[in-house]
A and B are shown apart, each in its own frame.
Chain A
Amino acid sequence: MNIIISIFLKELIDVLRDRRTLMFMVVIPVLITPLLVVGSIKFQEYQNKKSDEKILKIAFINETDDVIIKGFLSEQKGVEIIEDISLDSLESGIKTDSIQGGMYIEKEFLSKISSNNTGIINIYYKSSDLMSRSKKRMKDALENYKKTVVAERLTNFNIDEKLLEPLDIVDVDMSTAKETIGKAVGGFIPYILVMFIFLGAMYPAIDLGAGEKERGSLETLLSSPATKFEITMGKLLVVSLTGLVSGLVSVLGISSSLFFIDNIPEQIQSTIMELINPFMIFSVIILMIPIAIFFASMLLSISFYARSFKEAQSLMAPLNMVIIVPLFLSLGPGMEIDHATALMPLINVGLLTKEILAGSVEPIYFIETLCSLLFFAAVGIKFSVYWFNKENTIFRV
């Protein structure tokens, strides 16, 4: 045990003095995560504002005497109506982005409307122009016109408007704000958490395995009285710890980013604060420990196998996908924690975190998930010890 502690302490000092590891373990989760979260929200807000304020040129070709539709269209915010334009120019204008939308009202439109038939109006836009809101603005204007026509027709037939609304559906959402936000954010949190555990563990794992080979220090270490089991365990503990710290720091980073986002309603803010409670933090840390051990064992095994730092990096890259896929699956519709999903590694973490954050976790699923993760962590440890004991692995030519 003393030798494991000696190896652990030495590796920990070594890792904490490595700028690259510190970068992945602390700097990126603390600074980059909030920057990414706040930055993407701010950027989205800016884009929405820009899109709302943008004046859209809408070509308007009206072959009738109607003026009501034009009135509704001009009431829309940020619309500049362009008249006296041919249909060909309208189409080419949209194609070349000189105008953002167009409306064509056929000659027979008014006669059809007045004879209680359906009038046809074509609206032109580019669905590929994601920033443009021309379609929405044109449809809003036409919706207002439609309501006027329907109301007029019903009055002509002496029909009460309520006759067309036999149902008044009242939504009564019994979910608490905590449950709603918890389930929404719960899918995102484990994703960030697991990715940072992986990233935080990756560089120390490479340095402690392939790095030792490259320096030639593995031979001297193997010639010391430390057994291969002790060497593996000492290194595994450090790699697990760095992964764990990186995961925790990333959660701190995400939480701190909330302070930089304005416009969060007070109720949502207080709900978020309610979500971050000691039980939630304790439960998530408990789940993170076996995940960190499992990742550490896999990464170290790859690192022991690799001949060099570079080879270890390229061998570890595909592992990202192996991690992302189950987490992505847990975000899918209809995916709920049950006795089967609680046993599936990573999927169970994604699903259980949602429940923990929503405050609706059932103890049996927590226990099942934890047992499943501990089982995989134990298999990981066993495998990395077996792998390090293989002469072909550590002295691979």
Chain B
Amino acid sequence: MIELTDVTKVFTLTKDQRKIVGSAELRPKLFTAVDSISLKCNSSKVFALIGPNGSGKTTTLRMISTMISPTSGSIKINENDVAADGRSARKSIGFMTNQTALYDRLSPYEMVKYFADLNSMDRTVFNQRCEKIFESLDMNSFANKRIGTLSSGMKQKTSIARTIIHNPDIIVFDEPTTGLDVMTSRSIIELIKNSKEEKKTIIFSSHRMEEVQSLADAIGVIYNGKLIFSGTKNDFESLEAEPKSYDDTLINLIDQS
């Protein structure tokens, strides 16, 4: 379970960043990327975080994954405060983006073994889990080839194996299918569905509303750092009097805020 309470993230801007953010007259030194957001993602549920670019989705997901710390507020992973014990929190998290984020000079086996070592996995447990994952993803034929020589589909499978090797309770996906082809996107969607069946907590950000519609149990809409909506998929759909597309509902929500 993931629980965010009044989480705020303020960045100190560099001189160059100040020119981009804000007008010429008003160039703030600080930028509030996430403003007092509270949300809860329950186990066995898929939470979709949606909103336009630059609204604060990635910052929120990075804070959940403890890559960056919130300026104020608290984040709990399985009821443990991440500020107090970031390492334990990270042990229960798998993080994935649309980039495969692999090392070309390693083999898929070495890549997965590296992340198992970082998670201090027992050798026997690793061997069993690695065998199971490689089997289910049909990776054995290229397990010992250099990643740099693999096709994008093979790389994506390696990335999936790396994300779930330590059997995390929580999986964080930051725009996992953006820019990917249909086949590769499908393997990610399968991963999300399988993870849900395995009673894991899933939070993902996306711009693809058809994915949100098919995968999400709960939806959070974030705009200008503020959470302007949080509720179940039904709550989101009920926002409009007549049935409308998720895109329209999102645009209406943003317009009203």
Complex Cα distance, B88 from A216, in Å, reads 23
A219 near B95: Cβ-Cβ < 8 Å? yes
For residue A172, CB closer than 8 A to chain B, the reply is: no
Known: A6-B114, A219-B95, A397-B17. A225 touches B101 (CB 8 A): no
For residue B78, CB closer than 8 A to chain A, the reply is: no
A14 near B106: Cβ-Cβ < 8 Å? yes
Known: A17-B105, A215-B101, A216-B99. A222 touches B65 (CB 8 A): yes
Total number of B residues with any Cβ neighbor in A under 8 Å: 39
Stretch at the interface among B116-124, B189-197, B242-250: B116-124
Chain A nearest CB: distance from B168 CB in Å?
10
B87 near A227: Cβ-Cβ < 8 Å? yes
For residue B110, CB closer than 8 A to chain A, the reply is: yes
Chain A nearest CB: distance from B161 CB in Å?
12
A217 near B101: Cβ-Cβ < 8 Å? yes
**A-contact 0/1 string along B50-70, CB 8 Å cutoff:** 000000000000100111110
Complex Cα distance, B105 from A14, in Å, reads 6
Q: Which of B67, B105, B114, B115 contacts A222 (CB 8 A)?
A: B67
A223 near B67: Cβ-Cβ < 8 Å? yes
Chain B nearest CB: distance from A227 CB in Å?
7
Q: Which of B67, B106, B162 contacts A13 (CB 8 A)?
A: B106
In the complex, which residues of chain B have a beta carbon less than 8 angstroms from the beta carbon of A215? 99, 101-103
For residue B12, CB closer than 8 A to chain A, the reply is: yes
B65 near A13: Cβ-Cβ < 8 Å? no
Complex Cα distance, B116 from A224, in Å, reads 9
A392 near B14: Cβ-Cβ < 8 Å? yes
How many cross-chain pairs have Cβ atoms below 8 Å apart between A and B? 84
B101 near A220: Cβ-Cβ < 8 Å? yes
**A-contact 0/1 string along B61-96, CB 8 Å cutoff:** 010011111000000000000000011101101111
A3 near B110: Cβ-Cβ < 8 Å? no
Residues on A lying within 8 angstroms of B by beta carbon are 2-3, 6-7, 10, 13-14, 17-18, 215-217, 219-227, 391-392, 395, 397
Complex Cα distance, B174 from A345, in Å, reads 46
Chain B nearest CB: distance from A3 CB in Å?
6
B90 near A13: Cβ-Cβ < 8 Å? no
Chain A nearest CB: distance from B257 CB in Å?
25
Would you mind naming 13 contact pairs between A and B with Cβ atoms under 8 Å apart? A6-B114, A7-B118, A215-B103, A220-B97, A220-B101, A220-B163, A223-B90, A224-B118, A391-B69, A392-B12, A395-B62, A395-B67, A395-B68
Complex Cα distance, B110 from A134, in Å, reads 69
In the complex, which residues of chain B have a beta carbon less than 8 angstroms from the beta carbon of A6? 114, 117-118
Q: Which of A10, A217, A391 contacts B68 (CB 8 A)?
A: A391
Complex Cα distance, B115 from A3, in Å, reads 10
In the complex, which residues of chain A have a beta carbon less than 8 angstroms from the beta carbon of B62? 219, 395
B95 near A223: Cβ-Cβ < 8 Å? yes
In the complex, which residues of chain B have a beta carbon less than 8 angstroms from the beta carbon of A220? 95-97, 101, 115, 162-163
B172 near A10: Cβ-Cβ < 8 Å? no
In the complex, which residues of chain A have a beta carbon less than 8 angstroms from the beta carbon of B120? 2-3, 225
In the complex, which residues of chain A have a beta carbon less than 8 angstroms from the beta carbon of B12? 392
Known: A6-B117, A219-B95, A223-B172. A14 touches B101 (CB 8 A): no
In the complex, which residues of chain A have a beta carbon less than 8 angstroms from the beta carbon of B90? 223-225
Q: Which of B91, B96, B100, B114 contacts A225 (CB 8 A)?
A: B91
Q: Which B residue's beta carbon lies closest to that of A221?
A: B118
Q: Which of B86, B88, B103, B172 contacts A14 (CB 8 A)?
A: B103
Q: Which of B87, B97, B105, B115 contacts A216 (CB 8 A)?
A: B97
Known: A14-B106, A397-B17. 7 other contacts (CB 8 A): A7-B118, A219-B97, A220-B101, A220-B162, A223-B172, A225-B90, A225-B120
In the complex, which of the residues A13, A220, A397 has the most CB atoms of chain B within 10 Å of its own CB atom? A220
* Chain B residues numbered 142-194 whose CB sits less than 8 Å from any CB in chain A: 146, 162-163, 172, 174
B110 near A13: Cβ-Cβ < 8 Å? yes
Complex Cα distance, B94 from A338, in Å, reads 56
B103 near A217: Cβ-Cβ < 8 Å? yes
In the complex, which residues of chain B have a beta carbon less than 8 angstroms from the beta carbon of A223? 65-67, 90, 93-95, 172
In the complex, which residues of chain B have a beta carbon less than 8 angstroms from the beta carbon of A2? 117, 120
Chain A nearest CB: distance from B148 CB in Å?
10
Known: A225-B91, A392-B12, A392-B14. A219 touches B67 (CB 8 A): yes
Complex Cα distance, B87 from A17, in Å, reads 30
In the complex, which residues of chain B have a beta carbon less than 8 angstroms from the beta carbon of A217? 101-103
Known: A217-B103, A222-B65. A392 touches B118 (CB 8 A): no
In the complex, which residues of chain A have a beta carbon less than 8 angstroms from the beta carbon of B102? 215, 217
